Structure 1
């Protein structure tokens, strides 16, 4: 059974008996480490994984609703965020992550979020306040969050 889905893989017929995790957060090429790969390795035996890090991404694509590939990516992410049972939100140092901040705001009240914000992320204070206000679980590191999900009883 397939457990890792990357944009633009179809997620329409996912087995809903297994919890799913969306890997939201910093992707900025050459700035953010590929933290999603670690999540896939640790979690894919227990969860269905939705990873928006597209293998054939082209940063030259025009970010326009009229660009078929770009719109496909954004639609896939929005659909996977809705479908996911858990959203890991990872904000890496030395990134801006504007789309991740948008997704964070969209899902802050969803009760799906588990957040890691590294100490030097440029908007850490804002994220901390939102997490406190909406009782969003925060972790000191990605490793701590992953260990929590491995121990989580289904």
Structure 2
């Protein structure tokens, strides 16, 4: 969905190529699925695939936010504190980075949503150093 929306941005450098590749990907995927499988099974495959993908995404997002403070409507932390205090990073090595697609660096992902996944690990060091200089007593949730 967001890929299609991004194609409406006229400042995108290779918009035509990106659009053609996105369309080719979707067309090829559906063609292969309906060519190899009967129509009912192809639709079932797509539904199961989307369901499992949703479960996978849920397993990515849940550990980052469970047990973290929930902001009330009258809480007004600044943007940085809101991201740092309401989400957490998941530790791990390269395998964790691959399995979670870089989203194990959830705080940095929220602070810099358009940053590439490999750079989130670098940003983590900078964010930790900056947060170490905070006067945390200026705002507390709830």
Global fold match (TM > 0.5) = no
Task: Tell me which protein shows more helix as a share of its residues.
Answer: 2
Larger Rg: 2
TM-score range, shorter chain: under 0.3
Greater strand proportion: 1
If asked which structure has higher relative contact order (CA below 8 Å, sep 6+), I would say 1
